[in-house]
Amino acid sequence: MPVEMNLKSGEFILSSRTQLLSNSSDGFIQEVEFFQELMHGQLGLTLSENEGENQIEIIKNDRISGSEAYQLSIDSDRIRLEASDSKGIFYGMITLEQLIVSNSEKDEISGEFTLPALEIKDKPIYEWRGMHLDVSRHFFSIDYLKRYVDLLALYKINKLHLHLTDDQGWRIEIKKYPELTESGAWREFNQQDSICIERSKEDPRFAIDPAHIYEKDGKTIYGGYYTQEELKEFVGFAETRHVEIIPEIDMPGHMMAAIDIFPELTCNGESAWGDVFSTPLCPINEEVYTFVENVLAEVIDIFPSKYIHIGADEVDKSDWKKSAAVTQFMQKEGIEDYEALQSYFVNRVTDYLKNQEKEVVVWDDALAGGIPSDLKVMYWRNWVANVPEKTVANENELIISAGNPFYFSSPKTKLFNIYTKELIGSKFPEDKKNLIKGMQACLWTETIPSEALADAKLFPNVLVLAERAWSEESRQDWDSFKKRLKPQLDHLSKLGVKYEFTPSNELVPFMNVDLEKSSIGIRFETDLIDPVIYYTTDGSIPTTDSKPYQGEFYVEGSAAIVAAVFDENGAQEPYLRKDVDFHKAIGKPVIYEKPWNPSYAAGDAGTMTDGYRGGDSYSDGYWQGFTSDFLVTVDMEEVVELNSFSAKFMQLKGPGVFLPGSVEVWLSEDGENFDQVLNLKNDISPEEEKLTIKDFEGSLEGKSARYIKVKASNAQHGFMFVDELVVY
Ligand code: ACM
């Protein structure tokens, strides 16, 4: 969706009789060649550059500011594409291709396309519009990478981050250390391969790609790597698509493929699994820096990109902690803790790369021990509070790769969620938004062993990322996107992309609490285009005699909403069930005697009385998490008559989330003298494994108070999650 688009009257007939006009001295020769390839794909032949019935004119216009900006005007006799830079020209050509794909039916007899007359002025909101591919966990051929770049370019993605090394395989030839690929690029099937093989019985896309399986010395081995020549050629190809290839050599952790070969690079001289991740490089060992610099020197020689990604995620420091030499080194250098020790490593590698005129990208884990403010930080850990705020507080530029929704390997990824999920919280400072460099989505391939499955995970999700990273927020609209998606899917099919899009009948509820009208607005979102939905507000099952959904509706007091998508066979699973209450405590202040856990702040101090209810996931942004007791007082702002109290808590034993031992409610008129009125006991065993949401509720009939104190004891000393103190 461009920044500005105005339809005019008239149309342009694009055919083999259309002429392509350009001035070779403008420096757009490569783009013109690319455009002719696109035209060949659509029309079956390239456009004449000498004569024609109507014209497409490519114009260098230095008054258009921004290298990626362009203007496109379509009139009945002429299309004019203008930009100051080859990038802008390229993106204008892509837009023209999108218009052909979206707007026009090819007339099969005349072989013509009809394009609407219009004016487009366009430029991206972010300079970093990235996709990623993990080629370590499973290997992908250089031909697949080229096809991937071609598809990314079609949606104006301009960065491809290649995760070239990890514990499970080293994929880039390093001439100084040929063992890295001679041995490190190969493995016998590992545990993740076994999972894939098992799943392939149901879904053949999980079969390990036979192109990367070999028999050697009587063993079956899996793997592959890219030679330096292949990579250089690939980078050159990507340049013609204005896609910058950013190499990642993940360090000091995620290095087992190299450390298996050179175990002397760890602090204890062994390659092993630590407490959580593989044993990392030893940050106090000079040989490590020699190795790293030798590797990076060759990486730099292959990749002209301004950026080198050095990972720095998920470093298992248990081995460092056991080393007396490390302790001594830290004392001598005044390094206070192991996070700072990791930063010592990151800083040394950064210094080397800066001397080579490169800029450094790291995963957000690197922030913990302090980093220089010129590193670019890739934010991936949704569950760590305030990463975006911490990043910009340190003046680092931020690339948003939040795992939810931007890890496309996740089975929970939904197109709707990728399109609409808030990426930075409301506390992100307005005056630091200029430090958001862009967005990137990732494809981790632990359980993605084939090109077909990679296609399915990438498309159409990439299109959503593309719109979020390019289009003004005010131009982003889910309903509009869904409608524009259909012709793109048809086009992807034509290009042989094995995309996966099975819109579900699931309805996602959104609430809009209106304090002035004392009501709650409810709307549903879905993957479906113009679905038929019926709903009830009394908990009964909807039928075609129930209320038809026609956009947002308002609920006063309490409602038990049940809604479903209907087709000719009636209501479709899954039903949506959602309780909403405009209760007496909504909008009232809550005073905390013990703080929430900062990783699960939900909406901070307002969240218990905001009317928004948590769903089935404690990380959905509505549940507030506590590792202490829960001890709060609601101030009703005046003495009010009371009828009932309830509060929902959650148990999910796996990750250590437990219900409280009991919930006590105390009332006061003056805020000083409290009387206990309820003691609600928990009757669910802490051994209960399945997700359990328990409503602790009790009657307050005949009582009145201004202050309502709630105490929930953290009996299991784990996490407690609570949402909404409902008072009537
Ligand atoms: C990551 O997912 N470990 C960056």
Residues with CB under 6 A from ligand 1: 313-314, 363, 380
Amino acid at residue number 145:
L
Q: What is the C-alpha separation between 209 and 141, in angstroms, rounded? A: 10
**Residue 508: its pLDDT value, please?**
87
**The token pair that represents 269 in the structure block:** 């001289």
Q: Can you list the positions of beta strands (E) in 538-616?
A: 547-548, 553-555, 558-567, 570-581, 590-592
CB neighbourhood size of 371 (10 A): 21
Q: What is the 3-state secondary structure (H, E, C) of 116-164?
A: EEEEEEECCCCCEEEEEEECCCCCCCHHHHHHHHHHHHHCCCCEEEEEC
* pLDDT band at residue 475 using 50, 70 and 90 as cut-offs: very high
Does residue 299 sit in the same domain as residue 337? yes
Tell me, yes or no, whether 499 lies in a domain: no
Ligand 1, residue 311: give the atom nearest the CA: 4
The pLDDT of residue 511 is above 90 = no
Q: What is the count of structural domains for the chain?
A: 4
CB neighbourhood size of 24 (10 A): 9
Q: What is the C-alpha separation between 526 and 536, in angstroms, rounded? A: 18
DSSP string, 473-503: GGG--HHHHHHHHHHHHHHHHHTT-------
**Residue 16: its pLDDT value, please?**
93
Q: How far is the CA of 587 from the centre of ligand 1 (A)?
A: 38
Q: How far is the CA of 269 from the centre of ligand 1 (A)?
A: 25
Give the domain extent around 575. Answer: 508-581
Q: How far is the CA of 89 from the centre of ligand 1 (A)?
A: 35
Q: What is the C-alpha separation between 39 and 45, in angstroms, rounded? A: 7
Does residue 415 sit in the same domain as residue 270? yes
Does residue 645 sit in the same domain as residue 674? yes
Q: How far is the CA of 313 from the centre of ligand 1 (A)?
A: 6
Residue among 161, 151, 159, 87 nearest 123 (CA): 87
**Residue 425: its pLDDT value, please?**
82
For tokens 């399986």, the residue is 213
For residue 226, the domain's CATH number is 3.20.20.80
- Determine contact, residues 68/130, Cβ cutoff 8 Å: no
Domain end call among 430, 464, 494 = 494
Residue among 370, 231, 367, 350 nearest 296 (CA): 350
Tell me, yes or no, whether 501 lies in a domain: no
Q: How far is the CA of 607 from the centre of ligand 1 (A)?
A: 30
Mean pLDDT score, 77-91: 98
Does residue 80 sit in the same domain as residue 221? no
Mean pLDDT score, 589-612: 89
Ligand 1 atom 2: residue of nearest CA: 380
Tell me, yes or no, whether 30 lies in a domain: yes
Mean pLDDT score, 346-367: 98
The pLDDT of residue 627 is above 70 = yes
The pLDDT of residue 598 is above 90 = no
The pLDDT of residue 85 is above 90 = yes
Under the phi-then-psi rule, with left for phi > 0, alpha for psi from -120 to 50, and beta for the rest, what region is 508?
beta
The pLDDT of residue 108 is above 80 = no
* pLDDT band at residue 375 using 50, 70 and 90 as cut-offs: very high
Does residue 19 sit in the same domain as residue 104? yes
**The token pair that represents 500 in the structure block:** 């996966």
The pLDDT of residue 103 is above 80 = no
Does residue 167 sit in the same domain as residue 290? yes
Tell me, yes or no, whether 74 lies in a domain: yes
Ligand 1, residue 380: give the atom nearest the CA: 4
Does residue 628 sit in the same domain as residue 517? no
pTM for this prediction: 0.86
- Determine contact, residues 314/276, Cβ cutoff 8 Å: yes
Under the phi-then-psi rule, with left for phi > 0, alpha for psi from -120 to 50, and beta for the rest, what region is 277?
beta
* pLDDT band at residue 691 using 50, 70 and 90 as cut-offs: very high
Does residue 212 sit in the same domain as residue 198? yes
The pLDDT of residue 253 is above 90 = yes
Q: What is the 3-state secondary structure (H, E, C) of 372-419?
A: CCCCEEEECCCCCCCHHHHHHHCCCEEEECCHHHHECCCCCCCHHHHH
Tell me, yes or no, whether 503 lies in a domain: no
For residue 96, the domain's CATH number is 3.30.379.10
Domain end call among 494, 523, 553 = 494
* pLDDT band at residue 527 using 50, 70 and 90 as cut-offs: confident
Provide the Cα torsion 173, 178, 179, 183; round to 10°: 50
**Residue 265: its pLDDT value, please?**
98
* Best mutation site among 133, 309, 313 for ligand 1 pocket (most ligand atoms within 8 Å of CB): 313
Residue among 317, 510, 498, 504 nearest 421 (CA): 510
Provide the Cα torsion 303, 307, 308, 309; round to 10°: -130
Does residue 348 sit in the same domain as residue 284? yes
Tell me, yes or no, whether 502 lies in a domain: no
Tell me, yes or no, whether 600 lies in a domain: yes
Handedness of CA 256, 260, 262, 267 (dihedral sign): positive
Q: What is the C-alpha separation between 162 and 246, in angstroms, rounded? A: 6
Ligand 1, residue 378: give the atom nearest the CA: 4
**Residue 43: its pLDDT value, please?**
92
- Determine contact, residues 386/427, Cβ cutoff 8 Å: yes
**Residue 516: its pLDDT value, please?**
85
Does residue 641 sit in the same domain as residue 569? no
What is the per-residue pLDDT across 563-575, written as a single tens digit (0 to 9) for each?
A: 999 999 999 999 9
Instruction: For strands 18-21 and 54-60, give the pairing.
Output: parallel
pLDDT above 90 covers a percentage of the chain that reads 88
Average pLDDT along the chain: 95
**Residue 104: its pLDDT value, please?**
63
* Best mutation site among 165, 380, 409, 410 for ligand 1 pocket (most ligand atoms within 8 Å of CB): 380
Mean pLDDT score, 584-612: 90
Tell me, yes or no, whether 694 lies in a domain: yes
Does residue 181 sit in the same domain as residue 287? yes
Q: What is the C-alpha separation between 201 and 194, in angstroms, rounded? A: 11
- Pick the most confident of 229-238, 402-411, 424-433: 229-238
Instruction: For strands 307-311 and 186-187, give the pairing.
Output: unpaired
For residue 521, the domain's CATH number is 2.60.40
704 membership: H or E segment, kind and range? strand 692-712
Mean pLDDT score, 488-512: 92
- Determine contact, residues 308/353, Cβ cutoff 8 Å: yes
Mean pLDDT score, 162-176: 98
What is the per-residue pLDDT across 261-295, written as a single tens digit (0 to 9) for each?
A: 999 999 999 999 988 899 999 999 999 999 999 99
522 membership: H or E segment, kind and range? strand 519-525
Domain end call among 523, 549, 581 = 581
Ligand 1 atom 3: residue of nearest CA: 313
Mean pLDDT score, 108-112: 81
Ligand 1 atom 1: residue of nearest CA: 313
Give Cα 714 to chain centroid, integer Å: 33
Q: What is the 3-state secondary structure (H, E, C) of 636-693?
A: EEEEEEEEEEEEEEEEECCCCECCCCEEEEEEECCCCCCEEEEEEECCCCCCCCCCEE
Does residue 57 sit in the same domain as residue 166? no
For residue 671, the domain's CATH number is 2.60.120.1190
Ligand 1, residue 363: give the atom nearest the CA: 4
